[in-house]
Copies of this chain bind each other. A is one copy, B any other.
Amino acid sequence: MDASDDSRIIPVILCGGAGTRLWPLSRLARPKQLLALTGEATLLQLAAERVREPGQFAAPWLVASAVQASAIDAQLGAATLGLLILEPVARNTAPAIALAALHAAPDNLLLVLPSDHLIRDVAAFRAAVARGTAAARDGWIVTFGMRPDRPETGFGYIERGRALAEGVFEAARFVEKPDLETARAYVASGAFDWNGGIFLFRASAMIDAFRAYAPDVLAAAEAALAEAAEGEGTLRPDGTAFAAAPSLSIDYAVMEKAERVAVVPMDASWSDIGSWDALHQVSATDDAGNALQGEALAVDSNNCLIRSDGPAVTAVGVDDLIIVATRDSVLVMRRGESQRVKEAVEALKAQGRDELL
């Protein structure tokens, strides 16, 4: 179709995610990828910048929620995107990827990447993608493995099998979030990487995999595209047809089942910034280990994350706290326990304070 005369990789940035793991900064109406967590640029802007290398990548496609269209427009210049696919409803990653794969020409190479992760070493990212390109052209679905530095139970893992080429391995096994004991064994073995949610494949290879393992996803995406509205660089799949797709992750729908899945280890200082603790880990800190962002002041305090987009926060004589403030909400937790943000969210929900979520 429109990109068939271009042998460059088409990045497909997935922007549909929502969540409250970074509440109170992230909100239902302002998801993580639209936030500037690590500096001036938002994670979405960083993702677009990551693939701005005209020798390697075509202009990126973005799959996003229709309700985020104006926020995306404000963050990315009009010229940045090759295509904006606006999902009428959220259906997780598998249907989103099916839309992109079906819209592409069969031989197009697509690089699916999340919009809400951080990759510090962009050169290493691009080099890893380059390493995986030949296998992808050859019909492999190429995943990228992030070197684990802790037994994280919140990520999926990929086990490396035999080498296919320099720095490219067959994926022996694809496993979803393990328990702690299993995660420890994976890390100790040295044979497992974290699944970073980045995938490189020929469009036709992914369509074949959908046909084999998730035909209902494929059928819904095909029907939604058949009735799509298209114009001004934007593709709007039909809402009724797309809503029929099951809400499935690409890992569950395809990756855990597909043949010919490869993994390319990528050592690019990756973080999913999936929690305030994760943000603390990737943030610059002062001599006392405090990550201070915005209106934040630490007096005789150590190893705290203090961030405010609202009132001026001053901490005195406290250690290992996470303090996040916005104009209408303040969260205080212990460092190392930032998954407990959901308890705050649930407590506020129970009090009917939905306007704060």
Contacts and interface: CB of A to CB of B under 8 A. Distances in A.
Interface of A: 297, 299-300, 308, 310-318, 321, 323, 325-334, 337, 340-341, 343-344, 347-348, 351, 353, 356
Given A321-B332, A332-B321, A311 B313 contact: no
Given A311-B310, A311-B325, A316 B330 contact: no
Contact of A348 (B297, B326, B330, B351): B297
Contact of A330 (B313, B334, B343): B313
A343 to B, nearest CB: 5
In the assembly, how many copies of this chain are there?
2
Nearest to A336: B317
Contacts of A351: 297
Contacts of A347: 297, 299, 314
Nearest to A342: B316
A344 B314 contact: yes
Nearest to A306: B332
Contacts of A356: 312
A344 B348 CA distance: 29
A315 B348 CA distance: 11
A318 B317 contact: no
Given A311-B328, A323-B330, 4 more contacts: A300-B340, A315-B332, A316-B341, A318-B321
A93 to B, nearest CB: 30
Contacts of A329: 311-314
Contacts of A311: 310-311, 325-330
A316 B331 contact: yes
Contacts of A310: 311
A344 B313 contact: no
A343 B318 CA distance: 13
Residue in A328, A330, A340 with the greatest tally of chain B CB atoms within 10 Å: A330
Contacts of A333: 315-318
Nearest to A344: B314
Contacts of A343: 299-300, 316-317
